Amino acid sequence: MSQTTAQNTKSADIPITVENVTLGYGETVILEGVSFEVNSGEIVVIAGGSGCGKSTVLKGIIGLLRPLAGRILVHGVDVAAADEKQLTEVRKDFGVLFQSGALFGSMTLAENISLPLVDATHLDKDTVELLVRLKLSLVDLDGYEEYMPDEISGGMKKRAALARALALDPSILFFDEPSAGLDPITSAELDRTILSLNQAQNTTMLIVTHELDSIYTIAHRVVLLDKSAKGIIAIGDPHELAQTATDPRVKDFFHRKARE
User: In terms of pLDDT, which residue wins out, 120 or 257?
Assistant: 120
Q: Does residue 2 have a pLDDT over 50?
A: no
Q: At what angle do helices 109-120 and 125-138 cross, to 10 degrees?
A: 120
**pTM metric for this prediction:** 0.88
Q: How far is Cα 213 from Cα 217, in angstroms, rounded to an integer? A: 6
What amino acid is encoded at 106 in this protein?
A: S
What residues contact residue 238 under an 8 Å CB cut-off, 6+ apart?
45, 215, 216, 219, 221, 222, 254
User: What residue segments make up the domains of the chain, in order of their start?
Assistant: 3-93+170-254
> Which pLDDT band, with edges at 50, 70 and 90, does 131 fall under?
very high
What's the pLDDT at 101?
62
Which CATH number applies to 3-93+170-254? 3.40.50.300
- Determine which of 16-30, 84-98, 131-145, 236-250 has the lowest per-residue pLDDT on average: 84-98
What's the pLDDT at 118?
87
Q: Are strands 43-48 and 221-226 parallel, antiparallel or unpaired?
A: parallel
What's the pLDDT at 12?
62
What's the pLDDT at 260?
40
Percentage of the chain beyond pLDDT 70 is: 93
The DSSP output letter for 79 is T
Radius of gyration of the chain from Cα atoms? 19
Q: Does residue 258 have a pLDDT over 70?
A: no
Q: How far is Cα 66 from Cα 80, in angstroms, rounded to an integer? A: 6
Please name which of 77, 13, 21, 79 lies closest in space to residue 41, comparing C-alpha atoms. Answer: 13
